[in-house]
Structure 1
Amino acid sequence: MLSLLLIFVAGPRYGQSNVLVYVLVCSAIGSLSVSCVKGLGIALKELFSGKPVLSEPLGWVLLVCLVICISIQINYLNKALDIFNTSVVTPVYYVLFTTAVMMCSAILFKEWQHMVLDNIIGTISGFLTIVSGIFLLHAFRDMPFSPNLLPLFLQQGRADLHASWMSTTHLGRPHSIF
């Protein structure tokens, strides 16, 4: 429902000026495609175990939904990339897609019910680390960087300074055990 509102209401109004509109469509539809793939994987596993899956309509419905979802997802991702810079679309899409897949899996497959607290904390921590890293990469991408910003011992051509510093401190002297 959210995807339909984004496609038919928000897309025509705000799609050209706000990167979130098209990327949210891609993420929401993409999470559905991941769920369709998971369902098809289960159907294939049952097919190889000898069950008559091909006569059931669910596998075919999942396949058709997957094709439709991927088509919509690629269409709106291309629209976003045509309008906005790739360095803006990619991190936003990655974070929103990952969030949507986690939410969709939690709702449809109830994966979080079978997880112990350690795994839940690890999953959330990993997700927040990825989101923070992508934010930092995007926030500081235009920051000028030069070798002069590095500490002295990491700067090339300044190895002599590092060696002389090490020889004048206690770290550079050999230790005696007696």
Structure 2
Amino acid sequence: MVISTDNVNGLVLAASSSAFIGSSFIIKKKGLMKAGNYGTRAGSGGHSYLCEPWWWTGMIAMIVGEIANFAAYAFAPAILVTPLGALSIIFSAVLAHFILKERLHIFGVLGCVLCVVGSTTIVLHAPHERTIVSVKQVWHLATQPGFLVYAAIIFIMVTVLIFYYAPRYGHTHLIVDVGICSLMGSLTVMSVKAVGIGLKLTFEGKNQFVYFQTWFFTGVMAVCCLMQINYLNKALDTFNTAMVSPVYYVMFTSLTILASMIMFKDWDSQNGTQIATELCGFVTILSGTFLLHKTEDLGSSPSTPPLAYANSSTTQDPNLEGR
């Protein structure tokens, strides 16, 4: 299977991005823990972490990773770049084992291996990026009925989660804050890809910032990113990192691939065998993240289950309701 030059560039940038982002989860978590010792926890709506150097170090690492990820989307299709985020789970899980003492068992190691195998499968069978000569072409794709319906559904779901479910269940159910991050993330990637393409074309001598569409995508990207950062901080401060990272990855990747299929029609140029192989690779990655999730269960003692694990049972511990 021949991999295009653009896909190789996207692969290298995406892998580098995963290293920085995976590390940032752990560094930010350490900063949030330290900030919680002298101020209101982020999970309770506090922002004392803004005075914590560890959190800012993690934030810088995440920004560097996101810049690399941003550039990757300018070269390769989302169906290639996004699943490679599984590598960040590996970095996060390994560092959590050594730094935060969140134990990584044999199932976690096997989960890491499955993530690598699945990522490799997707890389080898990823579709080639379609040729785009202007941001106006991206705007045309984004204003097609299919994607407009998708964006409207995302907006409604995020609104309901923020104003109804987050105040009631945000502290006890991981899926609420992570769900908001993931839903907004799928729109973030589409706008990031549009802006990335605009920058790429601009550097090639075709200025795309003379079009209002480029600035519109930039605005959407900024708003979505800020919302993701806010709710990801809440999830990290309330729940265990080893659970937040894989659950966020699975939801975010699934929604992003769906959004990319609707907007950019990535699979139109591929046959059934190639699509099936990519899906198998993605399922392999999901299996790996599931094993990493189970690693957290194994690492917890029966007497002190993790908050998120306890919340998943049908009987709630009343002592946990206020956390």
Q: Which category of TM-score, normalised to the shorter sequence, fits these structures?
A: 0.7 to 0.9
115-124 or 78-87, which deviates more: 115-124
State the TM-score, normalized to the length of structure 2: 0.42
Written as runs of structure 1 = structure 2, the 5 A alignment for 1:6-85 is 6-85=161-240
> How far apart are the structure 2 equivalents of 1:85 and 1:140?
12
Same amino acid, percent of matched pairs = 44
1:92 maps to what in 2?
Answer: 247
Q: What per-residue deviation string (whole Å, max 9, x for no partner) do you get for residues 106-130 of structure 1?
A: 1111112222222211211111001
2:273 maps to what in 1?
Answer: 118
Q: CA deviation at 1:7?
A: 1.4
The residue matched to 1:73 in structure 2 has which SS? Answer: helix
> How far apart are the structure 1 equivalents of 2:226 and 2:250?
21
> How far apart are the structure 1 equivalents of 2:202 and 2:186?
24
2:117 maps to what in 1?
Answer: none
Aligned partner letter, 2:198: A
Q: Is the 8 A contact 2:242 2:292 kept in 1?
A: no
Q: CA deviation at 1:54?
A: 1.7
Aligned partner letter, 1:127: F
State the TM-score, normalized to the length of structure 1: 0.75
The residue matched to 2:191 in structure 1 has which SS? Answer: helix
> How far apart are the structure 2 equivalents of 1:77 and 1:114?
35
133-142 or 82-91, which deviates more: 133-142
2:320 maps to what in 1?
Answer: none
The residue matched to 2:209 in structure 1 has which SS? Answer: coil
Q: Which has the larger radius of gyration?
A: 1
Q: 1:128 aligns with which of 280, 283, 287?
A: 283
The residue matched to 2:216 in structure 1 has which SS? Answer: helix
Q: CA deviation at 1:142?
A: 4.5
Q: CA deviation at 1:141?
A: 4.0
The residue matched to 1:17 in structure 2 has which SS? Answer: coil
Asked whether 1:102 is paired with 2:257, we answer: yes
Aligned partner letter, 1:120: I
Q: CA deviation at 1:9?
A: 1.7
Q: What per-residue deviation string (whole Å, max 9, x for no partner) do you get for residues 55-92 of structure 1?
A: 11011111111111111001000011111111111111
> How far apart are the structure 2 equivalents of 1:142 and 1:19?
15
Unaligned runs of 5+ in 2: 1-154, 300-323
RMSD: 1.6
